Structure 1
Amino acid sequence: MPVIVLEASDFTSPLFLVRTWEVLSGCITFSLVASLEPPNPLSDLHSTFRIFCMFVWCFFFTLTLLIHILSIIQFHSLIPVSWKNLTMTTAVLGALMGLSASVVFAWMVMDHGGRLTHTVAAAVASCITFLAYSSETYVLRTQAHEQRGYMGSNPGLLKILQLWGGCNMIPLVMEVVHSQGSASGLPSKVLSWQLWVSTALYGVCVLMSLVTVVVILGDLAGRCFLPFDKCLAAFSMIGVLLYMVATVICFTKILQLKELGNRAPTGVTELIIMETVVASITLLAYTVDLAFSIKLLCDRSHA
C-alpha cells in the first residue's frame, strides 16, 4: 500500500502547527528535567510527584508524536480506534494533565527554593506545553460537530475531566498519607490501611473512567452485554457517591489542620488543599455527568 502524505497546504494548517508545537515543547520539558543532576534544589522533593510529572510529559510527548506521524502519512484509518475521539481525548487530557504537572512542578521549585536556570526553564516549558494542548483543544472544538466525536461533546469532556481527577488524586493521597505519617509518627499499619483504602476508592473511579474511554475510543458500545447508556449512568452514580465521601474526608482534614494552627506539619496543608480542590472539581464533573445521563435515559424512554 503506497504511503500518502499530507499536501503542502496541510503543513501550514493550525492543527499541524499546534501538534508540532506540542512535540517540541514536550521534548524540551522532559529533557530539561532529565538533565538535572544531583545535588540540585529538587533532590529532596517527594519522589511520587517527580515520577508523576516526568510520566505526564513523556507519555503525552510519545502519544502526540505517534498521532502526528500517523496524521502526516495518513495511516490513521488503519488503526481500529475512533480517530476523532482519540485526538480529542489526547488534546483535552494532555491539557489537563499538563496543567497539573506545571502546577506541581512550579510548587516544588518554589517550595524548595529552586532557582537554577534549568529548573525555571523546565517550569516555563511545561506551561508552554500546557498552552499547546489547550490550543489544540480549541482548534478541535471549532471543527464541525461530526468531526469532534463523542469526546468533544459536553458529556465526553466531563468523562475526560473525571479521568483527570482520578489520575491526580492517587499521587496526592499517597503524599498526604506519607507526610501526615512522617509528621505525626503514626504506626505503619495505620498508614498502610489509610493508603490502601484511599487508593482503592480512587482506583475504582479511575478504572470506571478508563473502561468508558476505551469503549468509546474502540467503538465498542454496541458490543457491551448491558446497555451502554445505563452503564454510564451507573458509573456516574458510583462516582458521585465515592467522591462525596472523599470530599467530606478532605474537608475534615482541613478542619483538623485549622485546629492545629501553627502546629500543622509543614507541607501537609498545601497537599490537603490541592486534594480538596481536585476532589471537589471531580465531584462536580460526576454530578453534572449524572444529570446528562439521567436526561438521556428519560429522553429515550419517552421516544
Structure 2
Amino acid sequence: MPVTVTRTTITTTSSSSGLGFPTTVGSARALAQPLGLLRLLQLISTCVAFSLVASVGAWTGAMGNWSMFTWCFCFAVTLIILIVELGGLQARFPLSWRNFPITYACYAALFCLSASIIYPTTYVQFLSHGRSRDHAIAATTFSCIACLAYATEVAWTRARPGEITGYMATVPGLLKVLETFVACVIFAFISNPYLYQHQPALEWCVAVYSICFILAAVAILLNLGDCTNMLPIPFPSFLSGLALLSVLFYATALVIWPLYQFNEKYSSQPRRSMDISCSNRHTYYVCAWDRRLAVAILTAINLLAYVADLVYSARLVFVRV
C-alpha cells in the first residue's frame, strides 16, 4: 500500500528519520495546540462521566457495566496517547502511529455514542428522582461531549482527497472500524444462545457475523502492525476480496435473520406484544424481541458499510492497476 506518510499535528520539532516520515520530539506545548486541547477535552469528559456514575453507584446490569467500561477505557487510552505524544515516544510505541490514533478515535466515538444512547434509555429513565438520577444525567451529558470530541478528531485527522497518509485514516479504513464495532454490538445482542440455536439457518447468520468480524479485524491489525507487506497478494486486492466476500455473506444474513425471527411459519413472533419477556417496561434487561430486531437493523447497517467498503476498495485496485 502506498500510504506511508503521516501528519503529526501536536509536535514542536521534527527531523527526517530516513524512513519516509518525520521523527517527532515531544513538548508540553503540544497541549496548547488544537488537537492537544481536543484530547484534553476527551480526557476530562470521560473522567467526569465515570466519576459521576461511580460516586453514586449508578450502574447496574450489562448495559450499565458497558457504559462504565466505555468511559474508563476511553479515559485510559486517551491518557496513554497524550503521554506518548508529550514524551515524543511515537517511535517506541508498539503499533503504527500513522494508524493508531485515528483508529482509536473512531472506536472511541462509536463507544461513547453507544453509551450515550444505551445508558439513558435502559437505565437512567428508570431511576427515581434524586442525587443518583442527577449524576446519571450529568454523566450522559459528558458522554455526549466526549463522543463529539472524538468524532471531531476523526474529522480533523482523516485523509483528504489526494493526500497520502495511513490506511486507517482513509474512508475504507474508517469503514473497517465501523464494521467491527457493529459486529461487536451484534455479538452483545446475541449473547444468549437461545436466540439462534433452534434453527441451523440462524446459526449460519452467527457464523457470518463472526467470519466477517475476524476478516475485518485482521485487516485493521495488519495496518496497526505495519504488516501489510507480509501478505502473499497485494493489500488492495486482499481488501477487495474481503469486502466482496463480506457483502455476499451479509446479504444472506439480511434475508435469513428476519425471515426466521419474525415469521410465524418458523414459530417466531412477528409482533413485540407476542413476546412475554417484553411485558415488563421497568427493567434494565433488553427483551428477546428487541434483541432480534436490533440484530436485524445492525445487519442492514453493516451490509451498507461493506458495500461502501467494496466500492472504495475496488477503486484502490483500479488505481493500482
TM-score range, shorter chain: 0.7 to 0.9
C-alpha contact (below 8 Å) 2:103/2:168 kept by paired residues: yes
Structure whose residues are more often helix by fraction: 1
Change (3 A) 1:263 1:282: same
Match of 2:101 in 1: 87
Cα offset, 1:197, TM superposition: 5.6
Contact 1:205 1:239 in 2 (8 A): yes
Alignment-derived partner of residue 274 in structure 1: 294
Q: Of the candidates 158, 180, 184, which is equivalent to residue 141 of structure 1?
A: 158
- Superposition map of 1:78-157 within 5 A: 78-109=92-123, 112-113=126-127, 115=129, 116-141=133-158, 146=163, 148-157=165-174
How far apart are residue 25 of structure 1 and its match?
A: 1.2
Q: Which of 142-151 and 10-19 deviates more?
A: 142-151
Within a 5 Å distance, the mapping from 1:125-274 to structure 2 comes to 125-141=142-158, 146=163, 148-174=165-191, 190=198, 199-252=206-259, 253-254=261-262, 259-260=270-271, 262-265=273-276, 266=278, 267-274=287-294
Q: Is the 8 A contact 1:173 1:198 kept in 2?
A: no
Q: Equivalent of 1:66, from 80, 97, 109?
A: 80
TM-score (norm 2): 0.76
**How many Å separate the matches in 2 of 1:53 and 1:130?**
13
Report the alpha carbon displacement of residue 93 of structure 1 after superposing the two structures with TM: 1.5
Amino acid corresponding to residue 120 of structure 1 in structure 2: I
Aligned residues of 1:6 and 1:72 also touching (Cα < 8 A): yes
2:84 and 2:90 in contact (8 A); partners too: yes
Distance 1:56 1:291, change over 3 A: same
Q: Is the 8 A contact 1:173 1:195 kept in 2?
A: no
Are 1:16 and 2:30 counterparts?
no
Q: How many residues align?
A: 282
Which stretch shows the higher mean deviation, 232-241 or 243-252? 243-252
TM-score w.r.t. the length of structure 1 is 0.80
Residues 28-70 of structure 1: per-residue CA shift (max 9 Å, x gap):
2223333443xx6x54x4x2x3343333222222211111111
Which secondary structure does the structure 2 equivalent of 1:53 belong to? Answer: helix
Q: Structure 2: how far apart are the matches of 1:159 and 1:77?
A: 25
| Paired amino acid for 1:6 | S
Q: Partner amino acid for 1:128?
A: I
| Structure 2 partner of 1:186 | none
Report the 3-state secondary structure (helix = DSSP H, G, I; strand = E; otherwise coil) of the residue aligned with 2:95: coil
Indicate how the Cα distance of structure 1 residues 102 and 24 shifts in structure 2: closer, same or farther if over 3 A, else same.
Answer: same
CA-atom RMSD, angstroms? 3.1
Structure 1 residue 121 displacement after superposition: 2.1
